[in-house]
Amino acid sequence: FASASAMVVRLGAKLLCRKCGRPRKGHTPGQCPGAEAAPSVPKSRHDRQKEKDPAAPKPPTSAYFVFVGENRATVQAELGGRQKELYEELGRRWQAQSEADRGTYKAKFQKNVDKYEAELLEYRHSGAEAAFLRKRKAAKEAAGTAAAGPSSGGAASSSSAPRPLAADSGLLPPPPAKKSRVAAV
């Protein structure tokens, strides 16, 4: 850790040491008594986030970020200065754009969305997603952690069939018609 403050976790009003998990009463993180035998400190919410497949396609950026990507260099050349000022000016320029001007960036965004959906469909049908999910599930079971939610007997969670993108993409059949509940008289 770069500093001692990076090794401290605040829990309520108590400060806990990340090495030993005990309240920090007079000991510095480098001098933790019994750091080896102490229970592990629960991970932060950020550390517990699901692992993402690095081979999965990256989602497209919004129309605003397409605008920022194309105009960052020119605005930075005009302003110089700090990042905060740069992005404030880019935000002002985006707000000043007319709907017609924004339409060009929205069209580029939609083109990126179409490309992403095609890549995602290819990724799912290649079996790479199913392999990654099996690998992640095996690692989770090996670590001894329980799966999130009740087990459904492997009906959908362990299936290696590719998942469809959306119901409106034509990959799913239409939902069944609802039956009326009118009683026969």
Q: Supply the pLDDT for residue 117.
A: 94
Q: Supply the pLDDT for residue 80.
A: 82
CA–CA separation, 174 and 156 (whole Å):
19
Check: CB of residue 21 under 8 Å from CB of residue 39.
yes
Q: Supply the pLDDT for residue 45.
A: 66
CA–CA separation, 60 and 119 (whole Å):
11
In total, the chain counts a number of residues equal to: 185
pLDDT tens digits, residue range 96-145? 999 999 999 999 999 999 999 999 999 999 988 899 999 988 888 887 74
- The encoded tokens of residue 162 equal 């590719």
Chunked mean pLDDT (size 10), the chain, 185 residues: 46 62 65 55 64 89 95 91 90 95 95 94 90 88 60 49 55 64 60
Q: Supply the pLDDT for residue 57.
A: 93
Q: Supply the pLDDT for residue 82.
A: 86
Q: Supply the pLDDT for residue 184.
A: 57
Other C-beta atoms within 10 Å of 164: how many?
Answer: 12
- Comparing C-alpha atoms, which of 50, 67, 81 is closest to residue 145? 50
Helical (H) or strand (E) element with 78:
helix 63-79
CA–CA separation, 108 and 8 (whole Å):
45
